[in-house]
Amino acid sequence: MVGLLYVVESQDLFHEQTSKLRSYQIVTPQVVTGRWKRHENGSETHRQNGHSDQITYSIKIEDVIHYLNLTKNKDFLSPDFAVVSHDVHKKSVRRHTGKPKSCHYQGRVEGREDSLVALSNCDGIRGVIFIGNESYALEPALQSSNNEHLLFPLDDSQSEPFVCGVADAHGEDNAPEVALSMTSFLRRKRNLPLTRYVELVLVVDNQRVSIKCTLSGNTTAVREEMVQLANLLDTYFQQLNIRIILVGLEIFETQNPFDMNGSAGDVLGRFVDWRKTQLVPRIRNDMAQLVVGRSGAYSGGVLGMAFVGTVCSASTGGGIGVYGNNALQYFSTVLAHEMGHNLGMNHDDTRCQCSGGSCIMASSASGSTLFSTCSGSDFEQLILRGGGVCLRNQPSQDSIITVPACGNGIQEQGEECDCGPPQSCTSKCCDAATCKLTKGSTCAAGSCCKDCQLSVSGTPCRPSVNECDLPEFCMGDTGFCPPDTYLMDGLSCQGNTAFCYEGRCQTLDYQCQQLFGSKATKADDKCFSYVNTQGTRFGNCGYSGSSLVPCSVANSMCGKIQCTNFDSNYPPPGAVISVETIEGSISCRNADFNLGTDVLDPGYVKKGTVCAAGKVCVDFNCVNSSVLMQTQNCDALNDCHGNGVCNDKGHCHCNNGWAPPNCNKGGRGGSVDSGPAEIGMSLNYKLHLFYLLYRILLLLYCIEWHRVLRSTLFLFLLVSAVTYLFLAVSELRTVFFSKLLVTSKDTFSRVTKHFL
């Protein structure tokens, strides 16, 4: 009887698992030994936590046996990983879990360059496989005792449509279609030689936790699922030479710390506010994504929403995605879509084709795992416009939630470098087989690494791009430039007519130029008070539910931006232009951006923009500018002694000649965040000086021993030389000594032998 009940239960679970699939195969993946090794010398693969660093599976796909050659990627979770919950008083409680499994892999199908694979084998095998034009999802068959797995086309896994409602007006229907393959994306990756690193935090709301815990019985399953999600996301974005690094995971076990009711835009607004005030101070990140456990989409079929091009913004660098009853593989493409928006990618139009049909950035999600050439171009444009500065430097080893795996292209604890697997590594500075620096190299990557050698401390590595930005300088002991810093929010700029906010002088002229081109300028103030008080799609102060809210006269400068001096016949993609003339001669031009229901309209005045004397725009309201400085506790006159400015971290950035942290002592300028602002002695100069003084001492000691020893002048010269030599040596860092020992071994031996 028990056995019969079990069979019936198994059949019910299997039926529920497959009921939303149009087609599927039952497959039994098999481990293949002795077929593929990571190291070229054929050494055995390493095992960690019971999982090999490299593994090969054989699997039959549509009657053809394929071999999946996989390398362990990352499980992202450190032994002291913290799960964050919130009690009824909204107090955070941190508790630590045990060391997680290291069971997440990436790789290719043997013999197919046009393939990518991302799988985990923590509890059964699950993930995605795409070969050429086809994409498949793989997951264990529920209650199977014979290693049976379900293999199904990825676009079969969605349970509800994801419609963004993008206007097609900006697409050219007669544009030639371009058939793309995985080979095209591999070529694009090579055309983007500088790898960008996105430091991501995933946040799981309480409803999603409840859904998962009902199925699995514990929150460990939530954590493991998010790790699998991050592995999939990393695989997708590698097409564009972008690595997704999971640096944090927040799980709301008991309740959400902010209201989850309302529209997708309402929830997104509350989430990014919580991220800026609560998350960023604890976990530095480039963007955060909220996983929402709704049973269905938001109004209008919206399954996700994000800001466009805000990846490095402290206030808007985030998005949300609905993860209800869909398969993880399908949800990963929804979240990749929203992350793409944060990275500056717009919706694809008819000119943007992927092999097999739809792409990740299509307006209606279909489970595609490929980015179009348009998405790649959008991301390149973000970089060329000066965006994405936080993506240049690889995260510090301490911040990566991972079990180190040599060959994944990310330098982790215990590694001196990591240039990827040997078959794809092109670095002359790094040994791919051992993740150690090659002989004579002191670094392998980064803007402070030139020809395998560290740049001298104080070498500029990221110049200031505007008056609200601050420069960064090489530290002298790492190949990577320090993270980007800028002036503290609320400081004045442009001759005291505007304020700095998130590293930009937030003027209306600048915002008009960003939207409509370099010649565009702010329209007359009367345009703002006239158009924005009407509450139309071209003039409003946001939404209340689905209804447009007209601005009050006092807040009219904080609604839709009104511009002039641009050609309205050539609007930006997705924009509809309105042109009005008021009082007979005043031209007012503005735009309604229909980029889809998952993208907030970029045509609103930015936070921190001046709206009246001493006032700035914050959430469609014109308020006192002092609100911009409430989160910082730094005063340049007192804390920096008038010899520097305050940066966005609340630290002093000292003028040249003064030393951080307080700018009250002599030094080389800069801050504890930026690196020293003055170039120190070069390595070659110090080495030459060292050799010169060393030889002088030997000469004086060996030849003039008896006669000069009694000379007061000699004693003075000797003491002076030794003192200067000691000071020079003390400034040499460990890397300098490494180079000295390598380059002067023979010379030193000969001189010593001659002396003896």
The pLDDT tens digits of the residues spanning 238-261 come to 889 999 988 889 999 888 999 999
In this structure, the answer to whether residues 499 and 600 fall within a common structural domain is yes
In this structure, the answer to whether residues 219 and 299 fall within a common structural domain is yes
More confident residue, 403 or 389: 389
Class of residue 259 by CB neighbours under 10 A (exposed 0-12, middle 13-18, buried 19+): exposed
Percent of the chain whose pLDDT exceeds 70: 73
The pLDDT tens digits of the residues spanning 257-293 come to: 999 998 888 899 999 999 988 898 888 899 999 999 9
Question: For residue 68, what is the domain's CATH number?
Answer: 3.40.390.10
Residue 198 is predicted with a pLDDT of 93
In this structure, the answer to whether residues 375 and 508 fall within a common structural domain is no
Task: Kindly state whether residue 108 falls inside one of the protein's structural domains.
Answer: yes
Helix 745-755, helix 683-703: angle, nearest 10: 10
Token digits for 177? 């279609």
Q: Which of 7-11, 71-75, 302-306 has the highest mean pLDDT?
A: 302-306
Segment 412-426 shows an average pLDDT of 86
Segment 556-561 shows an average pLDDT of 96
The rounded mean pLDDT for the chain is 78
SS (H, E, C) 686-735: HHHHHHHHHHHHHHHHHHCHHHHHCCHHHHHHHHHHHHHHHHHHHHCCHH
Residue 728 is predicted with a pLDDT of 57
Token digits for 123? 């509890």
List the one residue out of 427, 407, 429, 428 whose CA is nearest residue 418. 407
Kind plus residue range of the DSSP H or E element containing 272: helix 264-274
Residue bearing tokens 């890397």: 735
In this structure, the answer to whether residues 241 and 322 fall within a common structural domain is yes
- Kindly write down the DSSP assignment for every residue of 30-73, as one continuous string: EEE-SS--SSTT-PPPPEETTEESEEEEEEEETTEEEEEEEEE-
Residue 668 is predicted with a pLDDT of 85
Residue 190 is predicted with a pLDDT of 44
Residue 535 pLDDT more than 70?
Answer: yes
In this structure, the answer to whether residues 613 and 690 fall within a common structural domain is no
Residue 82 pLDDT more than 50?
Answer: no
Task: Kindly state whether residue 693 falls inside one of the protein's structural domains.
Answer: yes
Domain that holds residue 701: 683-755
Q: How far is Cα 332 from Cα 321, in angstroms, rounded to an integer?
A: 9
Task: Kindly state whether residue 486 falls inside one of the protein's structural domains.
Answer: no
* Catalytic hit among 250, 253, 338, 502: 338
Whether 44 is a known active-site residue: answer no
In this structure, the answer to whether residues 606 and 743 fall within a common structural domain is no
Q: Tell me the pLDDT band of 88, cut-offs 50, 70 and 90.
A: very low
Residue 745 is predicted with a pLDDT of 40
**3-class DSSP assignment, residue 249:** strand
Percent of the chain whose pLDDT exceeds 90: 33
The pLDDT tens digits of the residues spanning 664-688 come to: 999 989 999 998 887 765 444 555 5
Domain boundary among 629, 662, 693: 629
Residue 737 is predicted with a pLDDT of 42
- Annotated binding residues: 337, 341, 347
Q: How far is Cα 447 from Cα 455, in angstroms, rounded to an integer?
A: 9
List the one residue out of 123, 127, 306 whose CA is nearest residue 231. 127
In this structure, the answer to whether residues 595 and 737 fall within a common structural domain is no
Q: Tell me the pLDDT band of 200, cut-offs 50, 70 and 90.
A: very high
Residue bearing tokens 């007669």: 174
Residue 362 is predicted with a pLDDT of 85
Token digits for 104? 């997440």
Residue 8 pLDDT more than 50?
Answer: no
Domain count along the chain:
3
* Amino acid identity at 74: K
CA-to-CA separations, 382 to 15, 346, 469, in angstroms, rounded: 46, 11, 17
Give the number of other Cβ atoms within 10 Å of residue 586's Cβ: 15
Residue bearing tokens 């209008």: 300
In this structure, the answer to whether residues 105 and 225 fall within a common structural domain is yes
Class of residue 22 by CB neighbours under 10 A (exposed 0-12, middle 13-18, buried 19+): exposed
Task: Kindly state whether residue 416 falls inside one of the protein's structural domains.
Answer: no
Task: Kindly state whether residue 610 falls inside one of the protein's structural domains.
Answer: yes
- Annotated binding residues for Zn(2+): 337, 341, 347
Task: Kindly state whether residue 437 falls inside one of the protein's structural domains.
Answer: no
SS (H, E, C) 194-240: CCEEEEEEEEECHHHHHHHHHHHCCCHHHHHHHHHHHHHHHHHHHHH
In this structure, the answer to whether residues 624 and 689 fall within a common structural domain is no
In this structure, the answer to whether residues 625 and 687 fall within a common structural domain is no
Task: Kindly state whether residue 677 falls inside one of the protein's structural domains.
Answer: no
Segment 332-351 shows an average pLDDT of 90
CB 375 within 8 A of CB 240: yes
Residue 354 pLDDT more than 70?
Answer: yes
Kind plus residue range of the DSSP H or E element containing 191: helix 182-191
Residue 168 pLDDT more than 50?
Answer: no
**3-class DSSP assignment, residue 13:** helix
In this structure, the answer to whether residues 604 and 711 fall within a common structural domain is no
Q: Tell me the pLDDT band of 51, cut-offs 50, 70 and 90.
A: low
Segment 690-709 shows an average pLDDT of 64
Domain boundary among 391, 417, 438: 391
Task: Kindly state whether residue 709 falls inside one of the protein's structural domains.
Answer: yes
In this structure, the answer to whether residues 577 and 710 fall within a common structural domain is no
Secondary structure letter of residue 513 according to DSSP: H
Q: How far is CA 665 from the centre of its chain?
A: 37
Domain boundary among 360, 391, 422: 391
More confident residue, 67 or 353: 67
* Amino acid identity at 52: S
More confident residue, 66 or 134: 66
Beta-sheet strands, E only, within 367-434: 430-431
